[in-house]
């Protein structure tokens, strides 16, 4: 199970459709708060989380998940239009395992999830 957290509904929908097409069960949340609530309910194998969302930022989502005893081991993938070295380092420091720049390279995304065994 893969949880997509992104306030861009169009992009979240595209990622959702792609993941379902390649055999992954996926669900979507459109804010950090909604994503955390769904993660607590569903315990996904992986979370794809946008960094630059309105309200709760992706960094805050990652930090929260890493502090939560029931979620701390979930594999976190940052997805962001910010792609400078400092942005990557900040995401890893916040608790993300991997960083993918937008526009999303779906081959890289699939490989990361396949390597994890998240389906």
Residue 45 counted as domain residue: yes
Residue 83 pLDDT: 72
Q: Say whether 104 sits in a helix, a strand or coil.
A: coil
Residue 30 counted as domain residue: yes
Specify the DSSP class assigned to residue 71: T
Number of other residues whose CB lies within 10 A of the CB of residue 49: 29
pLDDT by residue (tens digit) across 94-117? 999 999 998 999 999 999 899 887
Residue 119 pLDDT: 60
pTM above 0.75, yes or no: yes
Residue 118 counted as domain residue: no
* Domain interval for residue 77: 2-112
pLDDT by residue (tens digit) across 37-91? 999 999 999 999 999 999 999 999 999 999 999 999 999 999 998 777 788 899 9
Residue 82 pLDDT: 77
Q: How far apart are the C-alpha atoms of 101 and 103, rounded to whole Å?
A: 6
Number of folded domains that form the chain: 1
> Both tokens of residue 117?
């065994």
Residue 72 counted as domain residue: yes
Report the CATH number that the domain containing residue 51 is assigned in CATH. 3.40.50.2300
> Both tokens of residue 50?
């946008």
- Report the alpha-carbon angle 67-5-23, nearest 5: 110
């Amino acid at each position: 199970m893969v949880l997509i957290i992104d306030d861009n509904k169009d992009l979240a929908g595209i990622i959702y459709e792609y993941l379902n097409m390649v055999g992954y069960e996926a669900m979507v949340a459109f804010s950090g708060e909604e994503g955390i609530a769904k993660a607590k309910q569903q315990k996904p194998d992986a979370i794809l989380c946008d960094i630059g969302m309105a309200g709760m930022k992706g960094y805050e989502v990652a930090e929260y998940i890493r502090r939560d005893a029931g979620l701390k081991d979930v594999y976190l993938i940052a997805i962001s239009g910010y792609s400078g070295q400092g942005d990557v380092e900040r995401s890893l420091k916040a608790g993300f395992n991997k960083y993918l720049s937008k526009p999303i390279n779906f081959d890289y995304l699939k490989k990361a999830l396949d390597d994890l065994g998240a389906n």
